[in-house]
Amino acid sequence: MSTITPTRRPTRRRVQARERREWLTAYLFVLPATLVIAVFGLFPIAYSVYMSLHRWRIRKGDFIGLSNYTSTFGDWWGAAAFFGGLLLILVAHWLWTDAFRGDRQGAPTYAKALGALTLLGAGVAIALGWGLMMEAGNRVYLNGLVRTVYYGFGSVPIQIALALVLATLLFQKIRGQQLFRMLYFLPYVTPAVAGAAIFRNIFSPREERLANQVLGWVGIEPQRWLFETRPVSQLLFGGLFPDASFTGFWAGPSLALVVVILFGIWTYTGYNAVIFLAGLGNIAPELYDAAAIDGADKRQQFRFITVPLLAPVTFYLTVLGFIGTFQAFTHLYVMRSGATRDAVDTASIVIFDTFYRRNDFSMAAAQSVILFVIILILTLMQNRFFGRRALGG
């Protein structure tokens, strides 16, 4: 009669050894990517911070601490108020959406009221801090940040909206579908220098150039386009309100910067449309069939099915779009000219001029660190406002 040998349970030591091997194997797989990120991502950032703390012109000089940051901000209280206001926006959103969730019935109203007051305080802090920095800080760099905001918020939302509409149209079964997809994607693969040179020729101030000829067809006088430094608001409403002062942030971008915004829209709309097309391919057709049976028309299907289900793609493209516009350089450098002075000089252009023309490496490093922090805060704000809703969190 055979006997059944009981299975031996693994000892605690063997379990721990297997867990250590699995842990080691996992980290060995992650190690190559970690090294690449550390060498080409984290190290340059850390070294930029190190350079910004020294007097650095060609060669490293004396340690100067935060002097470069002080000369850039001008007023530390103003900088604290400005960045504190940005953080207060996050706090206001947290109070508005998450605080007191699940508590007593009156708590949401209280949280929303407190969030609204915090948001108001954030606006006051940002305005006050920015005013103090502009009075005592580096106006060239700070104005470059303003133009960067114009460029980012003037181009990315339009890119996303146009790309979504184009992707929806190109997803339909139309004749020449592949050809249209290629044509809309072509601006993205066109070299930035070549595209910027073509735009500079089209928007030349000469009357015979294409942009001015189009304006002439509708009875509008030729414009100076890339050579126009006045704000668009002054060009549009200066004749109606001759005594109005169109200055400051609310005056808007110059016409030259608007041309650069148009270039950004022309370049990246096709790329965003291709990404949206991939997202549309992942939406089950049965959802549209069910909606059609329930009586939903194409507009309602687009609003209640397409747009919500493409929210993760929209969030991804928005984050990448703002990061890209805040770091944009090549086409801006090609499209600028001496006649425009600094009308299209965003923060990246100012940093390059500080590094290349003034040979002030430490100041350029400090300005780069500041731009990095602003991009980081902006990304965190986007993730806070839209990330969890888009990703289902």
Question: What pLDDT does 242 receive?
Answer: 64
Query: What's the average model confidence in pLDDT over 332-359?
Result: 87
Give the residue ranges of DSSP H helices in 11-75: 12-37, 43-52, 67-73
Question: What pLDDT does 69 receive?
Answer: 93
Question: What pLDDT does 342 receive?
Answer: 81
Structure tokens at 100: 């007191």
Nearest to 337 by CA among 263, 256, 283: 256
- The residue type found at 128 is L
Question: What pLDDT does 104 receive?
Answer: 52
Question: What pLDDT does 343 receive?
Answer: 85
Residue 239: pLDDT band (50, 70, 90) is low
- pLDDT (tens digit per residue) in 33-70: 999 999 998 999 999 999 999 998 888 889 998 999 99
Query: What's the average model confidence in pLDDT over 221-235?
Result: 86
Residue 165: pLDDT band (50, 70, 90) is very high
Average pLDDT, the chain: 86
pLDDT of residue 181 exceeding 90: no
Query: What's the average model confidence in pLDDT over 185-201?
Result: 91
Question: What pLDDT does 153 receive?
Answer: 93
By the 10 Å C-beta count (0-12 exposed, 13-18 middle, 19+ buried), 67 is classed as middle
Kindly list the domain boundaries of the chain, sorted by start residue.
75-137, 139-391
DSSP conformation letters of 167-191:
HHHHTS--TTHHHHHHHHHHHHHS-
Query: What's the average model confidence in pLDDT over 145-169?
Result: 93
Question: Cα separation of 309 and 315, whole Å?
Answer: 11
Question: What pLDDT does 154 receive?
Answer: 92
Query: What's the average model confidence in pLDDT over 67-85?
Result: 90
Distance set, CA 213 to CA 218, 225, 254 (Å): 9, 13, 21
Nearest to 314 by CA among 133, 113, 157: 157
Structure tokens at 315: 């969030």
- pLDDT (tens digit per residue) in 265-322: 999 999 999 999 999 988 888 998 899 988 888 889 888 899 999 999 999 999 999 9
- pLDDT (tens digit per residue) in 317-329: 999 999 999 999 9
Residue 243: pLDDT band (50, 70, 90) is low
- pLDDT (tens digit per residue) in 102-135: 555 556 677 778 888 888 888 889 889 998 899 8
Highest mean pLDDT among 41-50, 90-99, 228-237: 41-50
Site of tokens 């309100």: 241
Residue 392: pLDDT band (50, 70, 90) is low
139-391 CATH fold: MetI-like fold (1.10.3720)
If one compares 147 and 111, the residue with the highest pLDDT of the two is 147
pTM: 0.87
Question: What pLDDT does 366 receive?
Answer: 94
Beta strand spans in 292-336 (E): none
Query: What's the average model confidence in pLDDT over 77-98?
Result: 86
Residues belonging to the chain: 393
Question: What pLDDT does 58 receive?
Answer: 80
Q: What is the DSSP letter of 38?
A: I
Provide, rounded to the nearest whole percent, the portion of the chain with pLDDT above 90: 40
- 140-166 burial string, b = 16+ CB within 10 Å, else e? ebbbbbbbbbbbbebbbebbbebbbeb
Question: Cα separation of 97 and 110, whole Å?
Answer: 11
Nearest to 61 by CA among 351, 352, 348, 365: 365
Question: What pLDDT does 391 receive?
Answer: 65
pLDDT of residue 247 exceeding 80: no
